[in-house]
């Protein structure tokens, strides 16, 4: 079995045979507010603080200062980690959907397929440079959904997704890519990127009788015996905690 990388998330390691497969790409899928950014950041921060593994975050959603102050609420001091040469923040918000709206009237470069591919290639190049700069072992890209706004055509989107995930696998770091799912539910369409990655984790909020429960499922993790039960998780000021023995839907 491949070497495992501790996830930093209480309860998750035991669901995936001790951690994520080293050097592989894990997709974290969830609705808005499900905790994707927190889970991914916890993986990075615990990696830095407990396992001596440097980290890079590629953020398409939010800028650095806002991110640092949000993460401080969990006691995760990314600013200090950056100052110590253990963390780098790659601001890719210019590629996100908001940026697209601004660019609309701008040039051909950003609207042509070639132009969009070049931007993704450039992003990978920038990321590779940052990984080398601090010898990073952990990477997060948050979120793929923001990038895919560029590729409305399904075939363009699939190609871009394949290229990006392949490129991330080649970088050699253990990587979480987050993405959004519009329609949450127990039955859902499989996203194309799920076939390309080595692991898939799904985070969702279930509503029942006026109460809500956060639930997580490891849908796949290559090279590992996994617990694929839908299990509850919580978010509090320490971050995310998963309760793997409290199955929501139990085998009889």
Ligand X SMILES: Nc1ncnc2c1ncn2[C@@H]1O[C@H](COP(=O)(O)OP(=O)(O)OP(=O)(O)O)[C@@H](O)[C@H]1O
Residues 146-175 that bind ligand X (CB under 6 A): none
The counts of H helices and E strands in the chain are: 8, 11
Residues 170-189 that bind ligand X (CB under 6 A): 180
Residues 208-247 that bind ligand X (CB under 6 A): 235-237
Considering the rule CB under 6 A, would residue 75 count as an interface residue with ligand X?
A: no
Site for ligand X (CB under 6 A): which residue of 3, 22, 33, 122? 33
Q: Which does 236 bind (CB under 5 to 8 A by kind): Mg ion, ligand X, none?
A: ligand X
Q: Which does 34 bind (CB under 5 to 8 A by kind): Mg ion, ligand X, none?
A: ligand X
Comparison of 182 and 208: residue with beta carbon closer to ligand X: 182
For residue 37, the minimal CB distance to ligand X (Å) is 3
Give the CA diameter of the chain.
60
Considering the rule CB under 6 A, would residue 34 count as an interface residue with ligand X?
A: yes
Question: CB atoms < 10 A from the CB of 156, how many?
Answer: 15
Please choose, from the candidates 173, 237, 249, 212, the residue with its C-alpha nearest in 3D space to the C-alpha of residue 42: 237
Distances (CA, A) of 64 to 25, 68, 177: 23, 6, 18
Size of interface with ligand X, in residues (CB under 6 A): 13
Tokens of residue 229, six digits: 């039960």
Q: Which does 32 bind (CB under 5 to 8 A by kind): ligand X, Mg ion, none?
A: ligand X
Q: Which residues bind Mg ion (CB under 5 A)?
A: 37
Q: How far apart are CA 239 and CA 252, in angstroms?
A: 32
Torsion, CA 88, CA 145, CA 232, CA 183, rounded to 10: 170
**Chain positions contacting ligand X, by CB under 6 A:** 30, 32-38, 61, 180, 235-237
């Amino acid at each position: 079995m491949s070497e495992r990388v501790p996830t930093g998330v209480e309860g998750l390691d035991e669901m995936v045979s001790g951690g994520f497969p080293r050097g592989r790409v894990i997709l974290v899928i969830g609705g808005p507010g499900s905790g994707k950014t927190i889970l991914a950041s916890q993986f990075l921060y615990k990696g830095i603080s407990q396992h001596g593994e440097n980290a890079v975050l590629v953020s398409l959603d939010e800028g650095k200062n806002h991110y640092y102050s949000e993460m401080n609420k969990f006691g995760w001091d990314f600013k200090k980690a950056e100052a110590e040469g253990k963390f780098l923040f790659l601001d890719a918000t210019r590629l996100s959907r908001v940026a697209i709206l601004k660019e609309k009237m701008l040039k051909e470069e950003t609207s042509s397929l070639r132009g969009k591919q070049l931007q993704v290639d450039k992003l990978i190049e920038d990321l590779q440079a940052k990984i080398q700069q601090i010898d990073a072992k952990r990477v997060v890209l948050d979120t793929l959904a923001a990038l895919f706004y560029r590729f409305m055509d399904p075939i363009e989107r699939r190609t871009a997704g394949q290229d990006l995930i392949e490129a991330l696998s080649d970088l050699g770091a253990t990587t979480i890519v987050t993405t959004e799912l519009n329609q949450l539910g127990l039955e859902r369409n499989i996203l194309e990127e799920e076939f390309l990655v080595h692991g898939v984790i799904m985070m969702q909020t279930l509503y029942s009788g006026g109460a809500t429960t956060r639930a997580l499922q490891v849908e796949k993790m290559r090279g590992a015996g996994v617990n694929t039960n839908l299990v509850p998780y919580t978010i509090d000021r320490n971050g995310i905690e998963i309760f793997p023995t409290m199955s929501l839907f139990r085998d009889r």
